[in-house]
Amino acid sequence: MENFYHINNFYPHDPLRFGSTRLIQMGRIYCKGASECPEHFQTDFFELTVVTGGRGTVGVRGVDIHVKEGDIVVSFPAETHRIVSDKNEPLRYDFFAFNSDDPIIKEELDGITALFKDPSDRLIGNHRIEKLVEAGINELCDGTAPLSERLLTNILDEIIIRLIRVYGEKKSTVIHADTTNSETFCYRIMNYIDTHIFSMKRLTDVSEITGYNYSYLSALFKSTTGRTLSDYYKTARLKAARTLVRENKLTVSKIAEMLNYSSVYVLSRAYKAEFGVPPTEDR
């Protein structure tokens, strides 16, 4: 993306820790004309795109969301993401990418990803969040100030909590499907796998999350969707692997590690069986 101004504090491989928050990226961009941040794949983090001026589109899972000053777009883990600036009114935006180790926060964020997977639900407006992201950028750029780490911890915590509250208010407008409906239940299982593809250690994690025996879940999933739960998980992992391979930013070994394959050779065999070519030839 061609920019007039760009601050990017980026820690993809070793996120900064502020309390329970893992900071992956935070910064500011003033675009130059009709520039574009190409579609890229997010791994295990959320991202806020906070529009501070101009116009453009923010792509979430292939769907373009038109944005203007005051808009905030929320992107979830394991999604594709891109930004395009308007030619006549170049986009200006701040951004904040994060995850959390706090179990209560994680539970709340999991609830958001379960209910609001549709890209149309990702556009929000919240002046307080906008100002907090701005304050976080300022503090991150002046890390030598007294008690800077403590202040940043509080700022990042408040951003996440206010985001959770925004979606808490949106929940009241969502028409909840019957939770005993097997289609709805299986959809939630699929959504959990899709948004936790990098953090799941094994497929049986879904049993712990739902509170149901794995054999029961597997049988229900098969009878409801026509495919096995293990096949869905295998396909989801390979789709994520293919996206990362084609981005050509990480080694195949690193991708195998991120997706919890036992070795790069196991990934390569599964990849070739699924797509017809090994990952080294698919870049």
Residue 156 is part of a domain; what is its CATH number?
Answer: 2.60.120.10
Element (H or E) spanning 54, and its range?
Answer: none
Domain boundary among 171, 197, 216: 171
Domain boundary among 118, 146, 171: 171
Looking at the structure, tell me whether residues 119 and 213 fall in a common domain: no
pLDDT computed for residue 59 by the predictor: 94
213 occurs within a structural domain: yes
Looking at the structure, tell me whether residues 156 and 196 fall in a common domain: no
Question: Which pLDDT tens digit goes with each residue over 3-52?
Answer: 666 788 888 788 999 999 999 999 999 998 888 888 888 888 999 999 99
Burial class for 279, CB neighbours closer than 10 Å (0-12, 13-18, 19+): buried
Q: Which two tokens stand for residue 1?
A: 């993306």
176 occurs within a structural domain: no
Name the residue with tokens 């712990």. Answer: 208
SS3 (DSSP) at 281:
helix
Contact between residue 252 and residue 264 where contact means Cβ atoms under 8 Å apart? yes
Write the DSSP assignment of 189-249 as a string of letters.
HHHHHHHTTTT-SSTTHHHHHHTS-HHHHHHHHHHHHSS-HHHHHHHHHHHHHHHHHHHT-
Looking at the structure, tell me whether residues 63 and 199 fall in a common domain: no
**Domain count along the chain:** 2
Looking at the structure, tell me whether residues 188 and 152 fall in a common domain: no
Name the residue with tokens 């923010």. Answer: 58
Looking at the structure, tell me whether residues 157 and 200 fall in a common domain: no
pLDDT computed for residue 200 by the predictor: 86
How high is the mean pLDDT of the chain? 89
Looking at the structure, tell me whether residues 161 and 189 fall in a common domain: no
Looking at the structure, tell me whether residues 111 and 160 fall in a common domain: yes
pLDDT computed for residue 179 by the predictor: 44
Domain boundary among 171, 202, 217: 171
Question: Which pLDDT tens digit goes with each residue over 222-276?
Answer: 999 999 999 999 999 999 999 999 988 899 999 999 999 999 999 999 999 999 9
Any idea what the CATH number is for the domain that residue 215 is in?
Answer: 1.10.10.60
End-to-end Cα, the chain, rounded Å: 22
Enclosing domain of residue 190: 182-281
pLDDT computed for residue 257 by the predictor: 93
Looking at the structure, tell me whether residues 162 and 193 fall in a common domain: no
pLDDT at residue 176 above 80? no
pTM: 0.79
